A and B are shown apart, each in its own frame.
Chain A
Amino acid sequence: MAMTMTDPLRRAGLDRRAFLRGFTGCCLAASPLLTPMTLASAPSENRLVVIVLRGAMDGLDVLRPVGDPAYAALRPGLASGAEALPLDGFYALHPGLTDLLPLWQAGQLGFAHAVSTPYRDKRSHFEGQDILEAGLPAMTGQGARDSGWLNRLAGLMPGATARTTFDIGREPDLILRGPAPASTWYPQPQPGLSSQARRLADMVFHEDPLFRDQAAAMFDLAEEEAGGTDRSQPQHLQVADYLAAQLAAETRLAAFSITGWDTHGGQKVALKRPLKELSETILRLRQQLGPVWDRTAILALTEFGRTARENGSGGTDHGTGGAMLMAGGAVRGGRVFADWPGLEEASLYDRRDLQPTRDVRALAAGAIRTLYGTAAGDLEARVFPGLDMAGTPQIVL
């Protein structure tokens, strides 16, 4: 009896390093004991931040194709009111993003329009988000939900550790789910345990791999927590501050979400909050990143666009083609990448939605190739299986 009682405790104590290794990866290159020099030669100095805009952002409202002759008639209510900001004669920016205009002028804010994932027809948020994050043409087949494209990219980066990749949010996002190690964070203080209880906790969690790895990460975060973020600010700014600190250190890939884009009704009011959060987040990152901003590309992606026509509730319903926003010193901003399909009814997808003319995954893949030198073969086979990158414009550096 005494044996079985002391055994697990001793085992847990001895294996603490092994848990951490289990959490951070399998091999020597991933060990937390590595020297800083080795880390410095790790992946790249470039940073990629993906913001998942959950709920389906209305690309036609955020980036308005005011130069299209059919636009005004499709959006009689939404296009009225506060003035949109003219960008290039054809497109105008939603007034909710006014604060980002200086970035556009500095070439640090750009868009792609009439883009989408390969998802069509069912227009389900949840399938649409799964496809966006899994980076696959469809969610059929075993293992489709086992990993996301940003996690598979992390797996291709030489010398990546758990700190190379950060998922910020209350729930782990599919885009970062998978075998490559990643860290998570959410703006909440960590619990305190006595050292004795801490050792017992290692023992209690030890037999269950899912809990063991997350508990190790929880205790690591608790140790470094103290005094980091200013908790009096809104949560999205806490996220931006924390993320900026990580990006300035070891982190190269990160993802988080902004919700609130499912504007079936009262869209003029409903879009205010998510646009404000998006705009403030980007500006705070720029302010906090300093010189690292120049090596940073932010891509804001959504599951699909919304109907070309506004509906009877001053909103829009689930659609197909939409817009991607990109920001950062590393993006080729001040322009809109688009093969514009036109908005007359015959040009619409299903006679209702903006016709997608480019796969948004190809744009992301092109950016990754330039930022990290990832081979096109790896991108088309492993990060985005089944993708054809041919003819993709260069959106970064």
Chain B
Amino acid sequence: MKIAGESPTVFQPALAAIRFGTGRSPLHPDPEAPAAMLAALAAPDAAAGAFPVSPVEDVLHWVEPMRELQRAGRGADAQRLELLREIRKAERPYEAANLAAVLARGIGAGDGFRDRLTLFWADHFATAGRGPFLRNRVDSYVDAAIRPHVAGRFEDLLKAAVLHPVMLKYLDQTSSIGPESRVAQKGGRGGLNENLGREVLELHTLGVGGSYGQQDVRQMAELLAGVTMTDELETVFRQARAEPGAEHVLGFSSNARRDRMWDVEQALTYLARHPDTAAHLSRKLAVHFLSDAPPDDLVTAMTTRYRETGGDLAQVYAAMLDHPASWDPTLHKIRRPVDFVMASLRGLGADPRALVTMAEETPQRIYGRFMQPMRFMGQDWNEPEAPNGWPEEAAAWVSATALSERLKWALRVTELPGVPQDADPVRLAEAGLGALLPEEVRFAAGAAETRREGIALVLVSPAFQRR
């Protein structure tokens, strides 16, 4: 680790591409300045248009046939199982196509800052697809609820993510019923499920160190009781499931007479603007982009900006990019598997459209060449082990077994479509690392006996794994 003041801590283009983007590219120039990164973020999202992710609505045509079989009762059990299998079979290619689009966006991006922010916030609001209709739809959720809001106000991002059907299903909100609600009174069935209420406070807003207690978790869950989704996968509020009376979550109180969904949104806005949320999110961003132990004054500057602007995320990023710690030349973090595969293909100058074609023609190869290897590298795409998402610590990603998976993938990367036929280890080293290329990596790239091994050695080198 370098001593503060020993090295220049001013903006460096190569560092900007590696630390805040999807990596360096032989086809796209590095960002010129923080202002250019923020301007690109404010501009329309061209990559999303070029590589569309299919929406959740695409599964709706399965809903009616399923409902009919459910009405038919037990007699139709066999047909129902058959339909479930059919849905599963039809949906898997969509999941493959959506991952291909996500990777293609990062590979072909101008600077990739928006892609990295999307990955960060998708991880902050981590979900896995549950149930036959939503199982393969996490990327659709991220595309609709997360990506459009990454440069906006946090309260809008929070509402979009927490109230999305994929999240409601993942954190059991769809089965939460107020214990004193009309539904519970009438049928005696149902009860509160605290899962979503708890994670909103613990993970999404205040943070586990925040100033809330079990009582707030309970009240938040009671406030949310009634939020659920329709058979048509739309978020709604069902008054009959609502817990009567006012709820109090920290300093927020609902008004029992008002529209309850409005109250839920007010509570989320209150939580989004809470000082504990400002501090929690600022630290988390700094930990993700810079180092597991970011300097206190950086976190303070970001927290202050968050509070001054009411959670304007672009402003918070600006505060981060303005701080000298953002340009510390020592690389503290490790590229996660998804960043690693994106940066590898980007550094090789691969054509992102080839991935989309691969997904259309042979979706099972997206599973075999990306999803499966990423799983063994430690990142089971769209199936995080828990709602707190992926670990941040460098040591969590660099085990002997995970490293061996990265090496195995890197040894076969030149077989992937879109990778130029004349891909060359030395050119990859220079394009991928630029001014940050260490001498031993340049040497190994040139000294390897085969192109394949030379490219793999560059990609698994610590200099390329770190960011």
Interface positions of A (Cβ within 8 A of B): 4-5, 8-9, 54-55, 121-127, 145, 170-172, 177, 183-186, 188, 190-191, 193-194, 196-197, 200-201, 203-208, 210-211, 214-215, 217-218, 220-222, 259, 262, 264-265, 311-313, 315, 317-318, 350
Contact = CB atoms under 8 A, between A and B. Distances in A.
21 contacts: A55-B386, A124-B202, A170-B399, A171-B397, A186-B399, A186-B401, A191-B411, A196-B447, A197-B449, A200-B453, A204-B444, A205-B462, A210-B462, A218-B401, A218-B403, A259-B385, A264-B195, A265-B193, A312-B191, A313-B176, A317-B193
Contacts of A204: 440-441, 444, 457, 460-462
Interface of B: 172, 175-177, 179, 184, 189-195, 198, 202, 208, 213-214, 217, 376, 378, 385-386, 388, 391, 393-405, 407-408, 411, 438-441, 443-444, 447-450, 453, 456-457, 460-462, 465-466
Given A204-B444, A264-B195, A171 B439 contact: no
Contacts of B440: 8-9, 203-204, 206-207
B247 to A, nearest CB: 17
Contact of B398 (A121, A211, A318): A211
A365 B421 CA distance: 60
A126 B449 contact: no
B172 A264 contact: yes
Given A221-B400, A317-B195, A172 B175 contact: no
B192 A312 contact: yes
A170 to B, nearest CB: 5
Contacts of B453: 193-194, 196-197, 200
Contacts of A122: 202, 208, 214
- In the complex, the 9 A-B pairs of residues with the closest C-beta atoms, listed nearest first: A312-B191, A208-B462, A217-B400, A313-B175, A218-B400, A186-B401, A312-B190, A197-B453, A8-B440
Contact of A170 (B191, B401, B407, B461): B401
Contacts of A196: 447-449, 453
A309 B312 CA distance: 42
B189 to A, nearest CB: 7
Contacts of A215: 400, 403
A214 B403 contact: yes
Given A9-B443, A210-B398, A211-B462, A313 B191 contact: yes
A188 B405 CA distance: 8
A265 B439 CA distance: 55
A222 B401 CA distance: 10
Contacts of B175: 265, 312-313
A188 B462 contact: no
Nearest to A309: B191
A312 B184 contact: yes
A259 B438 CA distance: 41
A307 to B, nearest CB: 9
Given A170-B378, A218-B403, 4 more contacts: A121-B213, A197-B457, A211-B403, A214-B400
Nearest to B397: A171
Which one of A171, A203, A217 has the greatest number of beta carbons of chain B within 10 Å?
A171
Given A121-B214, A206-B440, A214 B399 contact: yes
Contact of B214 (A5, A54, A123, A193): A123
Contacts of B441: 204
Contacts of A211: 398, 403, 462, 465
A214 B217 CA distance: 41
Contacts of A190: 404
Which one of A9, A191, A222 has the greatest number of beta carbons of chain B within 10 Å?
A191
Contacts of B447: 9, 196, 200
A123 B198 contact: yes
A337 B405 CA distance: 43
A212 to B, nearest CB: 8
Nearest to B407: A191
Nearest to B442: A5
A204 B459 CA distance: 10
B403 A171 contact: no
A200 B457 contact: yes
B457 A312 contact: no
A125 B444 contact: no
A120 to B, nearest CB: 10
A187 B376 CA distance: 10
A365 to B, nearest CB: 26
Nearest to B179: A312
Contact of A184 (B385, B393, B400): B400
Contact of B177 (A54, A55, A264, A312): A312
B443 A5 contact: yes
Contacts of A145: 393
Contacts of A184: 399-401
Nearest to A168: B401
Nearest to A122: B208
Contacts of B184: 312
Nearest to A209: B462
A199 to B, nearest CB: 9
Contacts of B400: 183-185, 214-215, 217-218, 220-221
A313 B208 contact: no
Nearest to A257: B385
Nearest to B405: A188
Contact of A264 (B193, B213, B408): B193
Nearest to A170: B378
A313 B388 contact: no
Nearest to B334: A210
A9 to B, nearest CB: 7
A225 B460 CA distance: 21
A126 B189 CA distance: 31
A171 B400 CA distance: 10
Contacts of A124: 198, 202, 208
Contacts of A206: 440
A177 B393 CA distance: 12
Given A5-B443, A197-B457, A203-B440, A171 B194 contact: no
A127 B202 CA distance: 10
B395 A177 contact: yes
